[in-house]
Structure 1
Amino acid sequence: MATSPSSSAQAAREHVAARLREIRLDAGITKRELAARAGWHESKSSRLEAARTAPSDDDIRAWCRVCGAENEAAGLIASSRHADSLYVQWKRLQSTGLKRLQVSSLPLFERTQNFKVYCSNVIPGFLQTPGYATALLRNIRAFRELPDDVADAVAARMERSRLVREGARRRLAILLEEPVLRYRIGGAGVMAGQLGGVLSAMDLPSVSLGVIPVDKDRQMWPIESFTIFDDERVDHEPLSASVKIIEPEEVAQYRKAFRCLYEQAVYGAEARALIVKAIDALN
């Protein structure tokens, strides 16, 4: 498995690796002895202890059996699976198409009351029109060579967004970098409709929307897009993976980043003026 761009995932893997090493040392055997008894090469023991290779469930069971610590196996397997869940390759998530990904996240969206969303690349899913979502997901489908279920995926995304935006107690604080308003996804007509949709969303009582002007002096630089769920979990999506962050200290870093970015944004009439300017530039 590839190394995660998230320190949460790597830290979780290193925790499992460190525990394996402790179990071996407590048993008083060398890595060479462990490898011989487990039936694998000594280098594998070194890779597992250094967190360079993620252990399989069978690897953990064998390690604990050899060290006389079978009672540790179940907990370590659970920890290892959790580490894997923090970094999930897109190929695995999207192997059956894009709809599954939209539907699978619905329970998280339904139970979340407060969303903090920062986007530096595209209009966030919460605000996407069907036309924009269709153009974007078509591009993603083509790039990743996925089954074509774009129409179903768009329908699922629209339903998910409706549930979130119409929730009586939910709050969405959304920050957009100004260039997001200018990136053409789907052509001028689609973008005009999308930007009009962003203007309409600003009237919703559940939505607070800010735009960070491109000509503003920055204290917080543009970073990857991310979403914070109830101040407890962060999701962000680099090109090759979906990363879930739950480590409290790391989540706190994203909350701090959001506060800094929030202070740099403009709201109300100033934000509307930037959106209208982007619409006018389409003509």
Structure 2
Amino acid sequence: MPKSPSSAAQQAREALGQRLRTIRKDARITARALAQEAGWHETKCSQLQSGNRPPSEEDIRTWTRICGAETEADDLIAAARNIEGMYVEWRRLQSAGLTRLQQRKAPLFEQTRSFKIYCSNFMPGVLQEPGYIAALFTLITDFHGTKNDVDAAVAARLDRSKVIREGNHTFAILLEEAVLRYRLGDDEVMLAQLVQLLSGMSLPSVSLGIIPESAPRAMWPVETFNVYDDKLVSIELLGAQVTITAPSEVDVYVRAFSALSGMAVKGKAARSLITAAIERLG
């Protein structure tokens, strides 16, 4: 069962806190003695060790110096910086608009060779049609109250998505059947998007599977996520973006993708589901 992605950063903080605790115990120093030496309130040590308080760079250097473990400081600081980037609120990411957010991931898209994409609430980004992107970005902008740069952001996403037709990349894409009917635009937009899916299926780099609503579940629907080269997972929550790089947690999502893939239909059967969704538009 995948851990809640919103707790991934906290779990990493707890692991870092455990490392600090181990260093202190190996040095045979009590939390009270360490706090007194550092000039801290005693509760700060317990907060750092439990992961309830993220350590600053100065905190880590002070801790390792008192414990005689200065050689571990740089590694701990690097771990703390990685945790800081794991869970980032959308209001921070979107403060300058959606365009910059699309551009930030362009290098990752270009460098990745193997994509695993699971969609439970909207169409896969690399196969989104301009009207659909505009409808989605308008909803996001209105909901979060961020800068309205939808037109430029649409162009940036389309530019980022060119990797699906260029270079040496492969895309294993899964989506829940219900996504075919979620209205993120008017009939014209939805029709164009569904036709785009049919077109995308023919690309040599793409393997598209759809999980029928009637399929017996071997894995419950989870949050939409992308896996890049089985090394990094990106999850888009309502309030934040989560990035996972710890191999053990990445493996959870790789295994989840495999289980979800086992329920999906492809080829002619997948085309039939898309065609049925088109027919429902009238």
Deviation, structure 1 residue 115: 0.8
Please give the alpha-carbon distance, in whole angstroms, between the structure 1 residues aligned to 2:251 and 2:16: 23
Judge conservation of contact 2:225–2:233 (CA < 8 Å) in 1.
Answer: yes
2-structure distance, mates of 1:19, 1:256: 28
Is the Cα contact below 8 Å between 1:175 and 1:212 reproduced in 2? yes
Matched, 1:50 2:50: yes
- Give 3-state SS (helix, strand or coil) of 1:215's partner: coil
Query: 1:23, CA displacement in angstroms?
Result: 2.7
Secondary structure at 2:115 match in 1:
strand
Distance in 1, Cα, partners of 2:26 & 2:266: 59
Task: Tell me the alpha carbon deviations over residues 89-142 of structure 1, each in whole angstroms, 9 at most, x when there is no partner.
Answer: 222222211111111111111011111111000001101111110110111111
- 1:74 is matched with which residue? 74
Amino acid at match of 1:54: P
Over 3 Å counting, the alpha-carbon distance change for 1:207 and 1:23 in structure 2 is: same
Q: Which moved more, 1:122-131 or 1:53-62?
A: 53-62
Per-residue CA distance 1:154-183 (angstroms, 9 max, x = gap)? 111000111x11124211111110000000
Please give the alpha-carbon distance, in whole angstroms, between the structure 2 residues aligned to 1:220 and 1:26: 43
Q: CA deviation at 1:7?
A: 6.0
Match of 2:249 in 1: 250
Q: Secondary structure at the match of 2:209?
A: strand
**Which structure 1 segments of 5+ residues have no match?**
none
Q: Is the 8 A contact 1:112 1:170 kept in 2?
A: yes
The worse-fitting range, judged by mean Cα deviation, of 99-108 and 19-28 is 19-28
Q: TM-score under structure 2 normalisation?
A: 0.92
- Unpaired runs of at least 5, structure 2: none
Cα distance in 2 for partners of 1:106, 1:117 equals 16
Cα distance between partner residues in 1 of 2:75 and 2:251: 27
CA distance in 2, matches of 1:197, 1:263: 24
Q: 2: CA distance between counterparts of 1:122 and 1:50?
A: 37
Q: Could you report, residue by residue, the CA deviation over 1:194-233 in whole angstroms, capped at 9, with x for unpaired residues?
A: 1111111111111111111111221121111111111222
- Specify whether residues 27 and 250 from structure 1 end up closer, same or farther in structure 2 by C-alpha distance, changes over 3 A only: closer
1-side partners of 2:202 and 2:110: how far apart?
Answer: 22
Q: Give, in whole Å, the separation in 1 of the partners of 2:134 and 2:37.
A: 55
Deviates most, 56-65 or 226-235: 56-65
Match of 2:262, SS state, is helix
The equivalent of 2:196 in structure 1 is: 197
Q: Which runs of 4+ in 1 moved over 4 A?
A: none
Task: Specify the SS of the correspondent of 1:218.
Answer: coil
TM-score, with normalisation over the residues of structure 1? 0.92
- For residues 158-177 of structure 1, the aligned pairs below 5 Å read 158-162=158-162, 164-177=163-176
Distance 2:26 2:167 in 1: 55
Cα deviation for residue 261 of structure 1 reads 1.4
Aligned to 1:141: 141
**Which residue of structure 2 lines up, in the alignment, with residue 32 of structure 1?**
32
1:186 aligned residue: 185
Percent sequence identity is 53
SS where residue 210 of structure 1 aligns? strand
**Residues 1-283 of structure 1 correspond to what in structure 2 (within 5 A)?**
5=5, 8-162=8-162, 164-283=163-282
Contact 2:116 2:172 in 1 (8 A): yes
Do the aligned residues in 1 keep the contact of 2:5 with 2:235 (CA within 8 Å)?
no
Q: Which amino acid aligns with 1:188?
A: D
Partners in 2 of 1:111 and 1:242 — Cα distance?
20
Q: Pairwise CA RMSD of aligned residues? A: 1.8
**What is the alpha-carbon distance in structure 2 between the residues aligned to residue 39 and residue 187 of structure 1?**
62
Within 1, Cα distance between the matches of 2:190 and 2:204? Answer: 24
